Amino acid sequence: MSLAEIKAAARTAAFARRKPLFAGATAAQAGYLSEVLAGYRGVPVSGFMPIRTEIDPRPAMAEAAAYGPVGVPVIEAAAKPLKFARWIPDTVMVAGAFGAAVPAQLELFEPEILIVPLLAFDRSGGRLGYGGGYYDRTLEVLRAKRATLAIGFAFAGQEVDAAPLELTDQPLDLVVTETGIIEIS
Ligand SMILES: Nc1nc2c(c(=O)[nH]1)N(C=O)[C@@H](CNc1ccc(C(=O)N[C@@H](CCC(=O)O)C(=O)O)cc1)CN2
Ligand SMILES: Nc1ncnc2c1ncn2[C@@H]1O[C@H](COP(=O)(O)OP(=O)(O)OP(=O)(O)O)[C@@H](O)[C@H]1O
């Protein structure tokens, strides 16, 4: 099997594993994410508008927005790094690429912390996304400029032994789930 085929199979399996976790989702599941972000008050942070069966980071984003800049990813073009637009709970949103909502008016900024959505993660910071490579390209650019913290946010049940990795994959620095905080070894 080629790496592309291995990744495709891992994605199919990860979607199936995530679905029942989402069915039991509650707002309290962002509690540990709030706790982590409380240690970085005022540092610009990107969250995300959940799509499909992703865990919802918005309660933690709303709290962080009271202290500093918070934003969401915006796809500028295929195969290009993401841009980030400021978000507060009252922001008027419109449909963006792939169904993820984006602010109607884009006020771009550069986050130093990225809350990263994912299909599967492992304890070494490996991550499997939807396959666009958007977060990998984005983290590569941001990390070339300054220290940038990538925090995976997922249901605990999305953990795998080892996510299939390629050279361009950017590692997560920390993974936060609804049951705790996973330091990357
Ligand atoms: N909530 C959220 N927002 C996000 C992301 C994300 O993963 N989650 N992204 C993270 O990158 C970007 C959106 N990228 C995405 C890329 C692909 C698919 C997707 O569903 N792809 C199809 C396959 C498309 C194809 O065949 O080319 C699929 O998986 O079925 C979704 C989002 C920016 N915003
Ligand atoms: N920095 C990069 N430069 C060029 N190509 C890249 C880069 N990062 C990733 N890619 C390419 O993008 C494609 C998708 O990457 P990958 O499978 O890692 O996506 P993903 O991390 O699952 O998706 P996403 O980050 O959008 O959630 C791959 O072909 C990969 O080689």
Could you tell me the domains of the chain?
3-183 (3.40.50.10420)
Could you report the per-residue pLDDT of 40-55, keeping only the tens digit for each? Answer: 999 999 999 999 999 9
**pLDDT range class, residue 150, cuts 50, 70, 90:** very high
**Mean pLDDT, residues 58-65:** 98
Distance CA 110, CA 137 (A): 14
Report, as an integer, the average pLDDT of 71-98. 97
- CA-proximal residue: ligand 2, atom 27 (nearest): 129
Type and span of the H or E element at 22: helix 3-23
Cut 0.80: pTM above it? yes
Element (H, E) at 149: strand 149-153
ipTM for the predicted complex comes to: 0.92
pLDDT grade for 29, boundaries at 50, 70 and 90: very high
Contact predicate 157/180, CB 8 Å: no
Q: Is the CB of 129 under 6 A from ligand 2?
A: yes
Between the CA of 132 and the centroid of ligand 1 the distance, in Å, is: 6
| C-beta separation of 183 from 36 below 8 A | no
Average pLDDT value for residue range 124-142: 98
Residue 176 — very low, low, confident or very high, per pLDDT cuts 50/70/90?
A: very high
pLDDT over 90 (residue 185) = no
Chain center to CA of 47:
7
Cβ–ligand 2 distance for 73 under 6 Å, the answer no
DSSP string, 92-144: -EEE-GGG-EEESS--B---SEEEE--SEE-TTS-EE-SSS-HHHHHHHHHHH
Please give the pLDDT value at position 145.
97
To test the pocket of ligand 1, the residue of 106, 130, 135 to mutate (highest count of ligand atoms within 8 Å of its CB) is 130
